[in-house]
Structure 1
Amino acid sequence: MIIVKLAGGLRNQLFQYAFAREISSRMKTNFKLDATPFDIYYKHHKYSLSNFNIKQSFAKDSDFLDLYG
């Protein structure tokens, strides 16, 4: 599984999403989004991918435990 930590404005988020989607396709695995930085760090940027008709699956705490142990 690939977890992409989203950051920045809309262009950065779109790039990060597209990159994660392509890499997960090549590796034949799934990917999830981590949008927690928008709750914690970012005051000027918001999570913007919800405005598009794209596959959005968000990482849960258990996903991080599975990856990092």
Structure 2
Amino acid sequence: MNLYHFQMTDPTGGRREMKSVRLNDLNAVWREIAALAAGRAAEGGQIRVTNEAGGIVVLIGVSTALSLQTRRAA
């Protein structure tokens, strides 16, 4: 299991830590992104996921994450 750190960046550039969790694979990372995006659709901004070394694994806009989730469900 790998440790992933999830951050939200609001449209003004402010960042806040959301959570750090150990996950098995990138599918689990995308499920976490979908859950975070669903609760923040009106806020906009971006979701950034980093690994234990601090490298960016995923950087995606909330609107894009929601759009991808809708397409995957169809």
| TM-score over 0.5 for the pair | no
- Identify, as 1 or 2, the structure richer in helix: 1
TM-score band w.r.t. shorter chain: 0.3 to 0.5
Which has the higher relative contact order, 1 or 2, with Cα contacts under 8 A spaced 6 or more apart? 1
TM-score normalised by structure 2 residue count: 0.36
TM-score normalised by structure 1 residue count: 0.38
